[in-house]
Amino acid sequence: MKLWGGRFKNEESKLMEDFNSSLSFDKRLYFQDITGSKAHVKMLASCGILTEEEKEKITEGLNTILKEIESGILKLEGDYEDIHSFVETNLIKKIGNVGKKLHTGRSRNDQVAVDMRLYAKEKALEIVNKMEALQQVVFKLAEENPAIMPGYTHLQRAQVVTFKHHMMAYHSMFSRDIKRLEDAVDRLNENPLGCGALAGTTYSIDREITTKELNFKKTVDNYLDGVSDRDYIIELISCFSILMMHFSRLSEELILWSSKEFGFIEIDDQFATGSSIMPQKKNPDAAELIRGKTGRVYGALTSILTTMKSLPLAYNKDMQEDKEPFFDASDTVLKCISILIEMLGTLKVKKETMLKAVKKGFLNATEAADYLVNKGMPFRDAHGVIGSIVLYCEEEGCSIEDLSVEKLKEFSSLFEEDIYDFIDYENSLKKGIKKLML
């Protein structure tokens, strides 16, 4: 079933029909397509291009189609070229010839552009909402666990931090993810309807009416750009990619921390799986899958960037390839957020193991150097003195705080009894700017 054919002598090949058809995936756009059409018809009537009666009939027909799709009476299948032909053909079947007036002053090029912008905006805002829910879970987990833990650089124990502060690092990343998505939505919030195929239309339409009706901020400035711009899809998938990169870092930490080697956390059984051969195994599959799916979202970004590369203006059929990567990437992100919300909400933090790791790691070496600096030693010299103490302790199998003042004095006469308080882990967190971690 086609919306064209007048200028063709031969039938389209079956193979081509199938190759060309996008209904199997753009059927998701049925709501946006019908919403866009209703706004278009309303505008056409306001501009005197359709009569009020025609508008009523078409709108009623569109509403019926929407209801029938949503109740499952009308199945989104068949040999239609795309969702636009599906809706239009079914409209004509339902209301007869007046349905043929729906496409007045419009092309599928501005139609698909408006559908995708509406869909992309909705999805991005849905992701923003879910990210805010995830942030709340992260915040709660952080607040409930101000326990001290080793902080790492190069994945080597570096300085003491708190689990709370560590988790709040992700909270900060997620705030940026949200802001990035909101910024992208702000940029895409322009109405392409009325651009026609590429050069507007000879009818005296009013683009402001559909702009208001569809809740866009403004109309696009340029017709050619309006129908061929897919920046917003690229931008949103870039935002998703950065967000997934953050998720993959968090997942990697959850995987490491839940291993016997770290033992800092316990992932709830609900989000782990066992091994078919090794009875003792509990695998952090949910976190591994999030880490793995990051690659899939990056793939979507590469796909859309490559599709758009070098395309001449304006619309080209290549652009039909924008949909599957966007659908897949946004679905993936939403699924990952849902899993993270549940997994972090049920996470157990093992503060004793973290404390043990802190004690074994010379995590107060920097503070010990600061102590000497406070007593007047230049930092570079203090760094050297503490370095020798660490070497000594490693040989002796003890920690800095285990050494007596007499022993410490062998390394520097500046050490006094107050060193122990100064390098005490809890105390050091209470000092200066570090208080932020508590």
Active site positions, annotated? 154, 275
CB of 88 to ligand ARG, least distance (A): 12
Pairing of strands 265-266, 218-219: unpaired
Contact 223, 199 (CB under 8 A): yes
Q: Tokens 């966007």 — which residue?
A: 326
Pairing of strands 190-191, 218-219: parallel
CB of 84 to ligand ARG, least distance (A): 6
**Nearer residue to ligand ARG within complex by CB, 284 or 325:** 325
Query: Applying CB under 6 A, which part among 39-47, 186-194, 299-307, 313-321 lies near ligand ARG?
Result: 313-321
CB of 31 to ligand ARG, least distance (A): 16
316 binds ligand ARG per the rule CB under 6 A: no
CB of 109 to ligand ARG, least distance (A): 5
Contact set for ligand ARG, span 23-82 (CB under 6 A): 26, 82
Contact 332, 243 (CB under 8 A): no
Residue span 221-260 as binding mask against ligand ARG, x where in contact by CB under 6 A, dash where not: ----------------------------------------
Rounded to whole angstroms, the Cα distance separating 227 from 222 reads 9
Q: b/e string for 187-197 if b means 16 or more Cβ within 10 A?
A: ebbbbbbbbbe
Using alpha carbons, list the distances in angstroms from residue 288 to 233, 276, 336. 27, 18, 11
Q: Please name which of 341, 108, 117, 99 lies closest in space to residue 216, comparing C-alpha atoms.
A: 117
Contact 180, 228 (CB under 8 A): no
Choice from 108, 121, 165, 180 touching ligand ARG (CB under 6 A)? 108
Contact 340, 265 (CB under 8 A): no
Query: Applying CB under 6 A, which part among 105-113, 186-194, 299-307, 344-352 lies near ligand ARG?
Result: 105-113
Rounded to whole angstroms, the Cα distance separating 195 from 261 reads 60
112 binds ligand ARG per the rule CB under 6 A: yes
Rounded to whole angstroms, the Cα distance separating 161 from 149 reads 6
Q: Tokens 């107060």 — which residue?
A: 364
109 binds ligand ARG per the rule CB under 6 A: yes
CB of 28 to ligand ARG, least distance (A): 12
Choice from 173, 185, 319, 340 touching ligand ARG (CB under 6 A)? 319
Contact 291, 300 (CB under 8 A): no
88 binds ligand ARG per the rule CB under 6 A: no
Q: Tokens 């007045």 — which residue?
A: 104
Contact 61, 91 (CB under 8 A): yes
CB of 106 to ligand ARG, least distance (A): 11
Query: Applying CB under 6 A, which part among 10-18, 166-174, 312-320, 391-399 lies near ligand ARG?
Result: 312-320
**Nearer residue to ligand ARG within complex by CB, 56 or 324:** 324
Contact set for ligand ARG, span 320-379 (CB under 6 A): 320
Query: Applying CB under 6 A, which part among 108-116, 302-310, 354-362, 367-375 lies near ligand ARG?
Result: 108-116
- The distance of Cα 4 from the centroid of its chain, to the nearest Å, equals 39
Residues at the interface with ligand ARG (CB under 6 A): 22, 26, 82, 108-109, 112, 315, 319-320
